[in-house]
Chains A and B, each alone.
Chain A
Amino acid sequence: MYVQIFFLITFFEKRKTIQYRKEKIKLERYPTITVAVPCWNEQNTVEKTLNSLLELDYPKDKITIIAVDDGSTDGTFEVLKKFEKYPNIKILKKENGGKHTAVNYAIENSDSEFISCLDADSFVEPETLKRMMTYFLKDENTMAVAPSILIHNPKTMTQTLQQVEYNWAVFMKKVLGMLGGIYVTPGPFSIFRRKVFKDLGLFRKAHNTEDMEIAFRMQKHHYKIDQCNDAYVYTTGPKNIVALYKQRLRWIYGFAMNTFDYRKILFKKEYGFFSLVSVPAGFVSMVAVPYILGLLMFQIVKGIFKLIEKYQTVGFDFGFNFTLPNFDTFFLNTNAYVFTGILLYILVMSTIIIGKRMITGKYGFDLRIIYFMVIFSFIAPFWVIRAIYNAVFAKKTAWR
């Protein structure tokens, strides 16, 4: 609750500084940039990813795209070869070593001022790069900028729910950026100054969450990370619950392990909001979620057992007893935690609505927000509990 209020207050305090650009912009200078596209068995999506990069509104001689085939076993390399004809696209091939090795390979093979990375299942909009670049041009201390990530063409129920969640994330990341508390520079199109890698080293494996580890490392060295809310990158969200479960397991496990690795910079005022609130709050919610779910599950299981017990004792009652029980306020739960729970839901809901406004420029409420909150609060604890289990018993998570 404290964190949600902190975020809302910060938002209202600085809301006038937030830009919602619709029109095309021109930069005073177009710095050179390399976009690494690590591919591992991405034959179906990589073509669209590369095409979206080619359509970026940015001088072609200033942008180099390096697609790295990380030992794919499908037709990815053949698809990539079709792009060799473009002068600013380089195709590299290496043995499979994981995403971070592919991105590092691209960084080592580049000499541009800025480095970015785009997962081969994600796509950018033409204006995205310029809008993000303005953050670097405006403040030379900005070392990395993350974009707003949205779900590409949501088709399934799982993807639609993620779309709502990503709206929420846009708000959270923007405010975290304002407060210096960003703890992940996401794989889809975060941009870094080359200096980051020169000073702090390349990406590390980091429990399959290299984009989180680099952000932790940057925070450790007080490198500023910002978020550009009106730069859109579309990613393909997991289609079903199982795939989503695996993705989240990896994220949360990564968060837990990276926090453990960087525990020395926690609760130290010199590391600011990142160390005092942002990461500890993430951790607290990791513990609180399984606890709340545990209570809920206990109640449900107890209820089911009682039903079974009743059935075994007297059988089902098929009487035509359709009268509704009288509504009686006496039976409403009026414990304080119920009210705080409702308050928290309202706070979260308002941040989702503001997040949507940051993307579309309009405030609006739709029912999906309710679906998201209800369904996610029920299923999210499962991957949280599993991730904690994995972290405690040192079980590694897989990419896919």
Chain B
Amino acid sequence: MNIPTREKNDWKKYLIVFLITLFLFATAFYLSNNLNNKKLEEIRKIEDTISIDILSLETQFDLFEQLSCENVTDSILSKELGELASRIEYGEKNFDTLSKELIGLKKYYSLLQIKDFLLMQKARERCDLNIESIIYFYGREDCEDCRKQGYVLTDVRKDYLELRVYSFDYFLDVSAIDALKSIYKIDEKNLPALIINGKTYDGFKNREDIETIMPELVKIREEREAREKALLEAEVEAKNDTSNAKEIKDENTENAPKQ
């Protein structure tokens, strides 16, 4: 019995398998690239929308003096733009390849926020709107207090529908943000920073702190709740009245002489 040497290596097969593997990897990269491009397109579309929104805000601003207060109850910072904020946040964390586009988007978004803030300030003064606002500056991801401040603001906003929070990345390179920073003397070392009623508050502020700083917010909320309650009671009453009236009517019909 002989001990043979092994079968010869089938180099052709090694190569074919290598090529197939390469092809599969290439397909995966192609697919990924393709889908990322689609996302990019989506982002560009949003950018276009924002440009229009900014323009429209500017126009609203110009027309403001001539507008009646009824028409300025809400600005254009719609729910859709709230979704946009979550896209930016998610994208920043997950897509390295899209980061450039996302920064552009974030700049647009920040500008829009500033415009909205200014318009709301003006509207509040002139039309006595029940709207309060907080400007919030946050730092990099390693800023633990900034993360916490984010949680608090989201939480507070859930309860106070009249509150608008405009959040800005301190390190975003936009001259309008730089202007805000210098007006309100925001320093990198004191992040997170809140601007409430024109005053700067450095460092983390919890829910109670915010409620103390903004007593009017609590008042507005209480008023709204009272209004809502009254409305609800009125509705219930109206409903009861209708059903009573119906019962009386039914009774009358039953008692009516049949022809």
Contacts and interface: CB of A to CB of B under 8 A. Distances in A.
Contacts of A83: none
Contacts of A6: 13-14, 17
B75 interface: no
A247 B59 CA distance: 74
A340 B17 contact: no
A343 B39 CA distance: 23
A272 B95 CA distance: 42
A15 interface: no
Contacts of B90: 330-331
Interface in B19-34: 20-21, 24-25, 27-29, 31-33
B162 to A, nearest CB: 18
B6 A309 contact: no
Contact of A222 (B4, B25, B31, B152): B4
A58 B207 CA distance: 83
A345 to B, nearest CB: 13
B232 to A, nearest CB: 18
B9 interface: yes
B255 interface: no
Contacts of A273: 9
Interface string B136-163: 0000000010011001101100100000
Contacts of B185: none
Most buried by A among B2, B94, B147, B151: B151
Contacts of A224: 4, 6
User: Could you tell me the dominant secondary structure of chain A's interface residues?
Assistant: helix
Most buried by B among A306, A314, A317, A332: A314
Contact of B151 (A270, A271, A313, A339): A313
A2 interface: yes
A323 interface: no
A332 B32 CA distance: 11
A141 B2 contact: yes
B7 interface: yes
Interface in A1-22: 1-2, 5-6, 9-10
A97 B207 CA distance: 70
Contact of A1 (B4, B6, B24, B32): B24
User: Could you tell me the dominant secondary structure of chain B's interface residues?
Assistant: helix
Given A222-B3, A306-B147, A334-B39, A313 B32 contact: no
Most buried by A among B1, B6, B9, B24: B6
A314 B155 contact: yes
Contacts of A334: 31-32, 35-36, 39
Interface in A328-355: 330-340, 343
B18 interface: yes
Interface string A295-319: 0000000000010011001100101
Contacts of A336: 25, 28-29, 31-33
Contacts of B14: 6, 276
B6 A140 contact: no
A29 interface: no
B5 interface: yes
Contacts of A141: 1-4
Contacts of A254: none
Contact of A2 (B3, B4, B18): B18
B16 interface: yes
B87 interface: yes
B206 interface: yes
A180 interface: yes
A340 B147 contact: no
A166 to B, nearest CB: 26
A272 B151 contact: no
B13 A9 contact: yes
Contacts of B148: 309, 313
A330 B32 contact: no
Given A9-B16, A314-B155, A222 B6 contact: yes
B17 A9 contact: yes
B41 to A, nearest CB: 11
Given A9-B13, A317-B155, A343 B28 contact: yes
B39 to A, nearest CB: 6
Nearest to A10: B13
B28 A340 contact: yes
Contacts of A270: 5-6
A339 B32 contact: yes
A44 to B, nearest CB: 41
A216 B227 CA distance: 83
B6 A5 contact: no
Contacts of A1: 21, 24-25
B42 interface: yes
Interface string A272-298: 110010000000000000000000000
Given A1-B21, A141-B3, A340-B28, A330 B151 contact: no
A345 B162 CA distance: 50
B59 to A, nearest CB: 30
A195 interface: yes
Contact of A309 (B17, B35, B147): B147
A332 B39 CA distance: 10
Contacts of B147: 306, 309
Given A319-B158, A334-B32, A334-B36, 10 more contacts: A141-B2, A180-B6, A270-B6, A273-B9, A276-B9, A334-B39, A336-B31, A337-B28, A338-B32, A339-B27
- List the 4 shortest-distance A-B pairs measured between CB atoms, nearest first: A339-B28, A334-B35, A336-B32, A314-B155
23 contacts: A5-B17, A5-B24, A6-B13, A9-B16, A9-B17, A10-B13, A141-B3, A180-B6, A221-B3, A222-B4, A224-B4, A272-B7, A306-B147, A309-B144, A309-B147, A313-B151, A313-B152, A314-B152, A330-B87, A335-B95, A336-B31, A337-B28, A339-B28
Interface of A: 1-2, 5-6, 9-10, 140-141, 143, 180, 195, 199, 221-224, 269-273, 276, 306, 309-310, 313-314, 317, 319, 330-340, 343
